[in-house]
Amino acid sequence: MAVLTAPVVAGAPATARRRNRRSSPLATALRFLAGLIFVLAALFPLGWMAIAGFKSKTEVVRTPFQFFPEVWRWENYGQILEDPTFVRTLGVTFGGAMLFAALSLTINAMAAYVFARLEFDFKRTLWTIVITTMFIPGMSILLTSFIVVTRLQMLDTLAVLVLPGAASAAHVFFVRQFYLAIPMALEEAALIDGASRWGIFRHIFVPMSKPVFVVVGMTSFLAFWNSYVWPIMTITSPGLFQVQQYLATFRSERGSELGLLMAGSTLAALPVIILFLIFQRYIIGGIKISGLR
Amino acid sequence: MTLISRGARGSGPQPADTKTSEQRRERPLRPKRRDNVTAYVMLAPVVILLGIFVIWPLLYSMFVSLYDWSFYQESVFVGFRNFRVVLTDPQFVESVLRGLRFALIVVPSVMVIAFLFASLVKHMGKRAATLLKVSVYIPTVISGVITSLIFVLIYQYSGGIANWLVGFFGIEAQAWIGDVKLALPAIAVPAIWLGLGITSLIMLAGLLDIPESYYEAARLEGANWGKQTIYITIPLMKNIFLYLLITGFVGAVQQFELPLIMTNGGPLDSTLLPNLYIFNHFRYDIYVGYSIAAALLLFVVLGSISAGIFKTLNSEKAVDG
């Protein structure tokens, strides 16, 4: 996703759209209807999940189908929040995701800056190697990654969740595109004043990077929060269980408690939805085509 | 190299033959060595982590694929035997074909729906457009696990929404993910739901990139929406379509979380997508070489198909704006 999109530096110019002057009331109504269908299709499954969380065990899938519960019960939400495993899982996953996002932001931005601005030996070679890793499909290294982390005795540690995915060529590429658009003049003055390259990165580039950092940070956070396959391969101790892992395990062990499962899923989806709504301006505004035409 | 980079940086007004004192003052600006050290230090974390967790596993995959390797025994070199076994394994070949069928359901649906969405949003007021964009993007942040759990309930035979909905059209209740014929399209729906957001927004960005004056000129000539779409929008968005087609295709063929949780490949392997097949094989077979050879082969298949799509679309050189 990040490959060919680049963030807008300031002020999205995309709003230059013009309303069709000849639109009739009928056309407007049809457009409204079409819009409503899109919103419903996108949000219905999530709304249904949240509502199912208010239903009793047998009410979730009963015939005839009923959208709303007969009685709105808060028990499911209360009960799942009283489950210490679930709460710890949410906490551990959230902490891990924050750590992961911070780490990946730091190292990928540093690399992006170096590739955007510095001259050094083997620059082309290193760039080629880094970018090539972007095109390696996950499955062709998933199995041997597991063997590698086993050899490194990283199984069942926080490190196995945080370290393997932290360096991302796509993120390096994305941030670099942003840095290439920053005018050279800014740092030239600082260089003449004797500022170090690190100082320039830290005091000129990082403060300007908010829009791109939001997108990259959010992408990393989501990747960590939503990951399922890697945790089930590498994590076995309940203390490090990840939230998606918890939900899948809950389903296979206590599959009949559907209301409870939906309540848990809702609570697991809520943090990322809220985060997205907070930062939606950057994420949606950040999708801008560069060099595709 | 030093000279070029100096020149490129335009490091001050000093001519090349300045005095020693001037040169000393200028030195911090140009030395390549300092940049080398800073560059390597700042690159180190990314390069080391990519080296350990991407490049090493990749090289290791290539190595293991040539061996009869397991966790418990000494490995034996078998040359290309693993690849031969994979290629003659009907289950693997079928799973790849199934993956292609899955992609043929998912990708065109996502593209068409996203295009309609983008065309709609383009003609909306700013507020309505924001609301639509935010709504359609929300599924993108939802995990494959939660999506699977929701859709499994939607597809429940008795009491599921899917059967309730088709009931309105007089269609009898279906088993959906329990039905050999319907299971693959049924798991394609959540895949479409998950993939729509990003595709729509990229398409919208492309649509807004086309100068409005083109459409105005077309309208003056009396071209309707259909003609405008065929003669202006589609040719000008060719590269965006291409990009979305390739990424969508590669993504869809590799999908395996949805079938893993919703059906675990069943019923009767009808949703056993290639990556799920490889993953399950890895979990239940102690001889890893086979699974890894299959994964590498898939890598090659996907690569050539992407290249194929790219070539076909690229050969019809459209007029570029």
Task: List, in order, residues 6 or more apart from B33 with CB less than 8 Å away.
Answer: none
The one-letter amino acid code at A265 reads S
**A142: nearest CA partner in chain B:** B57
Asked whether residue A21 is domain-assigned, the answer is no
Residue B16 has pLDDT above 80, yes or no: no
**A105: nearest CA partner in chain B:** B46
Per-residue model confidence (pLDDT) at position B319: 34
Partners of B123 on chain A (C-beta within 8 Å) are 17, 19-20, 23, 31
- Work out the number of other CB atoms within 10 angstroms of the CB of residue B60: 19
Domain tally, chain B? 2
Interface size A-B, in CB pairs within 8 Å, comes to 298
Q: What is the DSSP string of B82-127?
A: HHHHHHT-HHHHHHHHHHHHHHHHHHHHHHHHHHHHHHHHHTS-HH
Partners of B302 on chain A (C-beta within 8 Å) are 137
The residue among B113, B150, B158 whose CA lies nearest residue B261 is B150
| Domain encompassing residue A110 | 84-285
pLDDT in tens, A185-238: 888 888 888 888 899 999 999 999 998 999 999 999 999 999 999 999 999 998
Best residue in B149, B165, B166 for a mutation probing chain A (most A CBs within 10 Å): B149
CATH number at residue B107: 1.10.3720.10
Tell if the CB–CB gap between A292 and B243 is shorter than 8 Å. Answer: yes
- Residues paired with B70 in a beta bridge: B287
Per-residue model confidence (pLDDT) at position B309: 66
- How far apart, in Å, do the first and last CA atoms of chain A sit? 17
Residue B251 has pLDDT above 80, yes or no: yes
Last residue in a domain, options B35, B51, B81: B81
What's the whole-model pTM score? 0.85
Tell if the CB–CB gap between B57 and A42 is shorter than 8 Å. Answer: no
Alpha-carbon distance B16 to B26, whole Å?
11
- Residue A235 sits at the vertex; the CA angle it makes with A232 and A239, to the nearest 5 degrees, is 125
Residues B149 and B292 grouped into a single domain: yes
Partners of A292 on chain B (C-beta within 8 Å) are 206, 239-240, 243
Asked whether residue A20 is domain-assigned, the answer is no
Best residue in B41, B42, B194, B204 for a mutation probing chain A (most A CBs within 10 Å): B42
Domain tally, chain A? 1
Residue B60 has pLDDT above 50, yes or no: yes
State whether the Cα torsion B206-B209-B212-B217 is positive or negative. Answer: negative
- Would you call B280 an interface residue with chain A, using a CB distance cutoff of 8 Å? no
Residues B277 and B302 grouped into a single domain: yes
Per-residue model confidence (pLDDT) at position A63: 73
Confidence of residue B70 (pLDDT cuts 50, 70, 90): confident
pLDDT in tens, A15-58: 444 444 556 888 888 889 999 999 999 999 999 999 999 998 87
Query: Under a CB-based contact definition with an 8 Å cutoff, are residues B282 and B291 in contact?
Result: yes
Residue B71 has pLDDT above 80, yes or no: no
Query: B72 by DSSP, 3-state: which?
Result: coil
Q: Which of A84-93, B19-28, B201-210 has the highest mean pLDDT?
A: A84-93
Residues B37 and B160 grouped into a single domain: no
A171-180, B73-82, B137-146: range with lowest mean pLDDT: B73-82
Residues B132 and B20 grouped into a single domain: no
Tell if the CB–CB gap between A19 and B125 is shorter than 8 Å. Answer: yes
Mean confidence (pLDDT) of chain A: 86
Task: List, in order, residues 6 or more apart from A37 with CB less than 8 Å away.
Answer: none
| Domain encompassing residue B275 | 84-315
- Residue with the bigger pLDDT between B28 and A11: it is B28
Q: Rounded to the nearest 5°, which phi and psi values hold at A3?
A: -55, -55
Query: How far is C-alpha B177 from the chain's CA centre?
Result: 24
Tell if the CB–CB gap between A229 and B279 is shorter than 8 Å. Answer: yes
Which percentage of chain B shows pLDDT scores above 90? 40
- Would you call B52 an interface residue with chain A, using a CB distance cutoff of 8 Å? yes
> B 169-198 residues with CB below 8 A of A?
193, 196-198
Residues B122 and B71 grouped into a single domain: no
Asked whether residue A264 is domain-assigned, the answer is yes
Asked whether residue A231 is domain-assigned, the answer is yes
Residues B55 and B194 grouped into a single domain: no
Residues B68 and B114 grouped into a single domain: no
pLDDT in tens, B163-174: 888 888 988 888
Tell if the CB–CB gap between A226 and B143 is shorter than 8 Å. Answer: yes
Alpha-carbon distance A77 to A261, whole Å?
10
Task: List, in order, residues 6 or more apart from A238 with CB less than 8 Å away.
Answer: A85
- Residue with the bigger pLDDT between B34 and A203: it is A203
Last residue in a domain, options B15, B46, B81: B81
Task: List, in order, residues 6 or more apart from A43 with CB less than 8 Å away.
Answer: B135, B138
- Considering only CB atoms, A126 lies closest to which of B34, B47, B161, namely B47
- Residue tagged 């940049």 (tokens): B35
Q: Is B3 exposed, middle or buried (0-12, 13-18, 19+ CB in 10 A)?
A: exposed
- Considering only CB atoms, B132 lies closest to which of A35, A262, A265, namely A35
Give ipTM to 2 decimals.
0.87
State whether the Cα torsion B213-B215-B218-B220 is positive or negative. Answer: negative
Last residue in a domain, options B28, B46, B81: B81
Query: Under a CB-based contact definition with an 8 Å cutoff, are residues B173 and B163 in contact?
Result: yes
Q: What is the DSSP string of B142-154?
A: S-HHHHHHHHHHH
CATH number at residue A185: 1.10.3720.10
Residues B105 and B51 grouped into a single domain: no
Per-residue model confidence (pLDDT) at position B125: 85
Tell if the CB–CB gap between A38 and B240 is shorter than 8 Å. Answer: no
Residues B167 and B122 grouped into a single domain: yes
Residues B36 and B170 grouped into a single domain: no
Residues B253 and B109 grouped into a single domain: yes
Residue B312 has pLDDT above 70, yes or no: no
Residues B210 and B120 grouped into a single domain: yes
- Considering only CB atoms, A4 lies closest to which of B10, B53, B243, namely B243
Tell if the CB–CB gap between A144 and B57 is shorter than 8 Å. Answer: yes
Residue B6 has pLDDT above 50, yes or no: no
Partners of B206 on chain A (C-beta within 8 Å) are 289, 292-293
Cα separations in angstroms, A256 against A60, A261, A272, B116, B265: 10, 9, 26, 39, 22
Asked whether residue A77 is domain-assigned, the answer is no
- Residue with the bigger pLDDT between B35 and B145: it is B145
Best residue in A127, A134, A144 for a mutation probing chain B (most B CBs within 10 Å): A144
Alpha helices in chain B (DSSP H): 2-9, 20-26, 32-50, 56-64, 81-87, 90-122, 126-137, 144-154, 161-168, 183-209, 212-220, 225-228, 234-236, 238-254, 257-262, 274-284, 288-315
Alpha-carbon distance A126 to B40, whole Å?
10
- Considering only CB atoms, B35 lies closest to which of A19, A120, A188, namely A120
pLDDT in tens, A47-102: 999 999 999 887 887 777 778 888 888 889 999 999 999 999 999 999 999 999 99
Alpha carbons within 13 angstroms on the beta-carbon side of residue A127 total 16
